Every structure is written in C-alpha cells, then in structure tokens.
Amino acid sequence: MIVLCLSISFVALRVSVAAGYTAETQAAINAGMDWKESSDVSVQRLLMWERYQDRIPTFTFAEFSSASVDIGQCISINMFNYMVPMFATDENDIRYHYQLVVTDPDGIIETLPSSGTFVSDSKGLAYTDYVPAKGGNYSFTVIFQDLYYKWNDTVAMRDYTGVTLLSSNYTCFVWVGDGFVGSASSELNSISVVAVVLVLTCSVICLFFIIFTKRNGSDFLKTL
C-alpha cells in the first residue's frame, strides 16, 4: 500500500514537472479542473473552477410577439440567454443551441425543431415562429442546452476553456382564441367603414345643395 502511494505521488510529480505547471495550476487539475492546455491557468480560469467547479449556471429567457392570438395566427418567439456567447463572432462557430417544447390545450407535447436544435447567432439569439391549430392555453418551454466551452484560440478564450455552461429553461403561456373575437372585430370594422362612407356621401350632397341654392336661391325657391 505504501509502495502504491509513493508510485502515485511520483507520477503526479513527474507530470507536473513535465507540463511545467505552477503548484496552483497543478493542484486545481488534481482536484478535477478540466484543463488540457500546456500553459498555466489564468486568475479568471482558476476562479471559474473555485467558484463553480467548471459548471456555470445560466439563465434563459424568451420574448413572445403576443400573449394571446387566434387560431391560425403566427406567434414569433425570440430565445436568448442573459450571458452572451463569450468571444463569439460572425466568423467563428461559438453558438448557443435551443429547443422549444410546446404543450397544446389537450396536453400533446411537441418538441421543436423535430431534429437538431435552433442555433443562435453570435449574440446568442435564436428565432422561430409557431402557428397554433387549437383554441385554449398553450405552454412554451425554451431549453438552453449545455455548452462545453472548447475554444482556446486566444488568451481571453482560455479564461473559459474547459468550463460547461449549464442547461436552463424558461416557460411562458399563450392563450389562443377560437377566432370568434377576430371575426366579430372584422365585422365591426366593416360596419364602421360603411358608416363613414355614408356620412361622407351625405356631407358631399349637402355641400352641393348649399352651393347650388346660394347661386340660384331665389329662382330655385320659386319653383318649390
């Protein structure tokens, strides 16, 4: 048992010397920090380990175009995480991935997209539309998927290399009407348009009558 312990200590020491790590970096690696780079960890990277054990919590949110629609009307959904993707640009592939779980009024669950994920832009935003086919209360749950930060091209990126942004989710409810409200509203709008046209027509007729009587007043009145 003593020989085994000595062997393990010797191997750990030999790795530390070979890699050229400081005692602080090697201690974190020995404790479980995910670090495969040849350089020592930065103060920021060490903080990610000491504070979060390389597993960083996230907060997901979504914006919906409306809290209530009618059957067949489109709902636009914007998905995002409060923490933008670190050092993401239009040129690299640092992106977030989302899924949308929709539960209709009958309890039927649909996961979107049907395969794969919604991939964000460089700001961490993803977009989709949904058209409900039933009336009632729908629930929408946006799921942000775990992201293992593998990128290490720059010193700044290596502040996060090896950490995992943990999955989080956000749920919102949207009421879908059966369409009668929309139809009634359309009918009222049509009636309003007709009423406005009638009023304008009557006003024009009255205006012409006034002008005519002023020009031909006495002669016109004698004929009545």
Residues 68-95: pLDDT tens digits? 999 999 999 999 999 999 999 999 999 9
Residue 153 pLDDT more than 70? yes
**Range with lowest mean pLDDT among 62-76, 151-165, 172-186:** 172-186
Same domain, 79 and 114: yes
Read off the pTM.
Answer: 0.72
Identify whether residues 116 and 99 lie together within a single domain: yes
Query: In which band, very low, low, confident or very high, does the pLDDT at 216 lie, cut at 50, 70 and 90?
Result: low
* Predicted pLDDT at 201: 73
Domain identity same for 185 and 161 = no
Note whether residue 36 is domain-resident.
no
Mean pLDDT of 35-54: 97
Give yes or no for a cis peptide into 113 (omega within 30° of 0): yes
Separation between Cα atoms, residue 188 and residue 177, nearest integer Å: 18
Q: What is the pLDDT of residue 167?
A: 98
Structural domain boundaries, residue 3: 1-31
Domain end (from 159, 177, 195): 177
Same domain, residue pair 145 and 193: no
Tally the domains of the chain.
3
For residues 183 and 197, which has the higher predicted lDDT (pLDDT)?
A: 197
Q: Are residues 85 and 173 in the same domain?
A: yes
pLDDT for the residue numbered 124: 98
Residues 23 and 75 in one domain: no
Which pair of structure tokens corresponds to residue 118? 């919604």
Amino acid identity for residue 142 in this structure:
V
Paired strand residues for 168:
144
Q: How confident is the model at residue 174 (pLDDT cuts 50, 70, 90)?
A: very high
Together in a domain, 145 and 58? yes
In this structure, is residue 37 part of a structural domain? no
CATH number at residue 52: 2.60.40.1930
Average pLDDT, the chain: 84
The pLDDT score that the predictor gives to residue 141 is: 98
- Which conformational region is residue 117 in: left (phi greater than 0), alpha (psi within -120 to 50 degrees), or beta? beta
Based on the fold, state whether residues 208 and 128 are members of the same structural domain: no
Q: Per mean pLDDT, which range of 11-20, 117-126, 156-165 is the poorest?
A: 11-20
